[in-house]
Amino acid sequence: MDYVIISLKSLYETINKIHGYQKLPPQLPRRGTSMYQQYFSESLRLISNIKGKRAVYLWFYKGLDEFYEPIYVGETYRSERGLKGRFSDEFKQWYHIFWMTKYNTDKYEPEVIKMYNTPNVDYTDIVKNQSLKKGASHIIYVTNITDDVSTKIIQDDLIQLFNNPRGNAKDKRKVPLPDEKLHHVSKEIYKELLNRIKKVKSYSI
C-alpha cells in the first residue's frame, strides 16, 4: 500500500494573500469570483498528481506542539471519478471550512447557508455537518489497497480506531465492533497512519 501526505499550508497562504494578510475575518468569497478561483486553483494544484480509485484518507491537524487530531476519515467507495475527483468535490463543496480554519471563526456558516438559496430547503444541518471538518492542516491518503476488502469497511474501522473523529459524526457505528472483528488491513493502515503522522512537519495556520 502507498501512503502520501498533502500539506494544506499553501492553501492557507493563498487565502491569506487573497485578503491582503488581514487579521480580522473577511467576507467569504462567492463561488465564481476571482478570489474563489485563486483558492480553488491552488486546491487543484495540490491534488494534481493523485491517481487511483480505491483509497481511504484522513484529514488531520498537526500542531507545533506535536499534538494531533484526526478530523475526518473518507474513502472512495462510491466515487466513479476516483480519489482526485473525491478531493476536488470536497474542496469545492466545503471551501468555507478553510476560511473558518484560517480565521478561527464560525461566522461563515450563515453566509454559506444563504449561498445555497434554494426555496423551501433548509441547509443548516448540511452546512453545520460540513463545518465539523474544519481545522485540518494535512491530508494523508492510502492507495493500492488489497482488492479483498472494501474501502467502506476500512473507513468504518478507521473511524472507530480513531475514536470517532468529529467530521464523521454521522458515520460512526452505533455499536463498536470488538477488536477481533476489525479487519486486519484496517488495523495495519491505522498503525501506519499513526507512524506517518508522527513524522509530519507541522506549521502555524
pLDDT tens for 24-77 read 999 999 988 999 999 999 999 999 999 888 999 999 999 988 899 999 999 997
To the nearest whole number, what is the mean pLDDT of the chain? 93
Secondary structure of residue 1 in the 3-state scheme: coil
Q: Would you put residue 49 in left (φ > 0), alpha (ψ -120 to 50) or beta? A: alpha
> How much is the pLDDT for 187?
97
Give pLDDT tens digits for 113-143: 888 777 788 888 999 999 999 999 999 999 9
Specify the range with the lowest mean pLDDT, choosing from 84-88, 145-149, 171-175, 179-183.
145-149
**Full-model pTM:** 0.94
> How much is the pLDDT for 79?
66
CA distance 12 to 43: 10
User: Percentage of residues in the chain with pLDDT exceeding 90?
Assistant: 83
Residue type present at position 94: W
Kind and range of the H or E element at 75? strand 68-75
